[in-house]
Amino acid sequence: MSWPLAAFAFFVAGISVGCLTPARLLPRLPNDKLMHFLAYLVLSLIATRIASSLNEFLCWAIGLFCLGVFIEFLQDFLPDRKFCWKDVGANTAGIVLIALFSPHLVLIR
């Protein structure tokens, strides 16, 4: 397994565990929306290292968006958690920021 793929899996697992753990069991975060933005920015940045073309990266970006919505959906079934459109927006902003630079990032290896 390549390092970008291993890093991507590690970050997805960490984000999933963090987002799907009841809030009362986690430390208070300084800025939840910033954390969402940075998490999906990092995932998108790693995806630029995995993708071999711009079209492939865009598929990864769409998949990340879907992952974020799915995790938010699952939060409705957890104590102390709920679906939040602002979290989806922060996730999407991180993805979009990298997507704007992706033509340069995907092609530079």
Q: What does the pLDDT read at residue 108? A: 58
Report whether 12 contacts 68 (CB < 8 A): no
pLDDT, tens digit, 9 for 90 and up, residues 51-103: 988 899 999 999 999 999 999 999 999 988 999 999 999 999 999 999 998 87
pLDDT, tens digit, 9 for 90 and up, residues 29-42: 789 999 999 999 99
Q: What does the pLDDT read at residue 69? A: 98
In whole angstroms, give the CA distance from residue 25 to residue 38.
Answer: 22
Residue type, 67: L
Residue type, 96: V
Instruction: Look at 14 and 101; give whichever has higher pLDDT.
Output: 14
**CA 61, 63, 65, 70: dihedral to nearest 10 degrees?**
-170
Q: How many CB atoms lie within 10 A of CB 43?
A: 24
